[in-house]
Amino acid sequence: MIHTLTNLSVSAVTIMAPLLLAATGGLFTELSGMLNIALEGLMLVGAFASIAGVYFTDSILLGLLIGVVSSMLLSMILASVTLYLKANVFITGLAANLFASGITVILSFHLFGNRGVITFDTLKELPDLFTGFAQQMPLIAGYHVLTYLSVVLLVAAWVLLYRTRFGVRLRGVGFHEQALASLGLSPHRYRFAACVLSGLYAGLGGAALSLHLGSFVPNITAGRGWIALVAVFLGQRRPIGILLASFIFAFAEAFSNYAQGAWSVPSDFLLAIPYAISLFAIIFYSVFETRKKRIEYRKD
């Protein structure tokens, strides 16, 4: 029992990395007052571009760079159109997702002659860290480098958002746009920065997904960008909450992977578990919040 639980937690931490990265990216845009439904598309572009980058440059670092830059480019297009052409952020987000799912398949067909799964035998693997300590500290050691990076980058995001002037202003845009404008600062500039940062994080999240797997499948993200968005809401837009929410989702996915092998439950039902848990989590959270507000309202 304990052993199974430990195993589940270990695989949950690995599964969590892409989700946590994308959710942290979503945190920036959410705090700046933009609904970023393009996380899914940004992740997808990051996943494809990084694996293509590693294949062509034969270097993990350059591949990651290519992946992140591509997804940042898409987020820049998204931000420019949304902010400077005053478009609806929900619709441009859908556009970005559509564009991402199109361009990845088109390029994979054009570059590798294959619309489906791309796997390379010669692809470099992500290096694992602290493998020697994995026996003594099963929950902390032995993951690949991007798993650690996802937590480090979450802390970095916290520092940036809560301990720098830039971060205070970025949150200020979401909190009260006019207040920031009255200080002579441009709200658009901070939203733009938030969007590009979300591109950076989500792109890295996508890279963590495909490089860990060592291959690219069309729609490899399979709704993870959306789940990341739910994690932002559920984590109450706070870094620690996001970490917790991402871990819960990742644990649910790890459990569904485990159950698939252990019991003879149809895989379709098990694949639905992460969505079902997200659904119940968001419902319970909203019920709780609404009740709290109603009680406060009555007290006043």
Partner 1 sequence: MRKIERFSVLEYFVRSLFGILAIVLLSVIMLIAAIFLLSDQPLTSIASFFAGPFSSLYAIGNMIDHAVPLAIGAVGIALAMRSGNMNIGGEGQVYAGALVTTIVALALPGWGLTGILVALAASMLVSGSVATLSGWLRERWNVSDLITTFLLSNIIILVVDYMVAYPFVDPQTNLISTRFVDPSYHLLIILPPSQLNIALCIALVCVLVAHLFLYRSRTGFELRMVGDNEEFARYAGVDHRLYRILPMTLSGALYGLGGALAILGTYHATIKGFSAGMGWNALLVALIARFKPAAIIPAALFFAYIDAGARSAMFYSDVTYEIAYIVQAVIFFLISSSILQRIALGRRRV
Residues engaged in binding partner 1 (CB under 8 A): 37, 77, 81, 84-88, 90-92, 94-96, 98-99, 101-103, 105-106, 109-110, 115, 223, 226, 229-230, 233, 266, 268-269, 271-272, 275-276, 278-279, 282-283, 286-287, 289-290
User: Residue 110 Cβ, how far from partner 1 at the closest point, in Å?
Assistant: 6
In angstroms, give the least distance from the CB of 102 to partner 1. Answer: 3
Nearest to partner 1 of 159, 279 (CB atom):
279
Taking alpha carbons only, the member of 208, 59, 45 closest to residue 123 is 59
Q: Please report how close the Cβ of residue 39 comes to partner 1 at its closest, in angstroms.
A: 13
Q: Which is nearer to partner 1, 118 or 211 (CB)?
A: 118
Instruction: State in angstroms the smallest separation of the CB of 130 from partner 1.
Output: 36
Report the residue number, 102 or 127, with the smaller CB distance to partner 1: 102
Question: Of the two residues 118 and 146, which places its CB atom closer to partner 1 in the complex?
Answer: 118
Torsion sign across C-alpha atoms 33, 37, 40, 45 = negative
Look up residue 19 and give its amino acid: L
- Nearer to partner 1 by C-beta: 166 or 269? 269
Q: Are 210 and 48 in contact (CB under 8 A)?
A: yes
CB of 293 to partner 1, least distance (A): 9
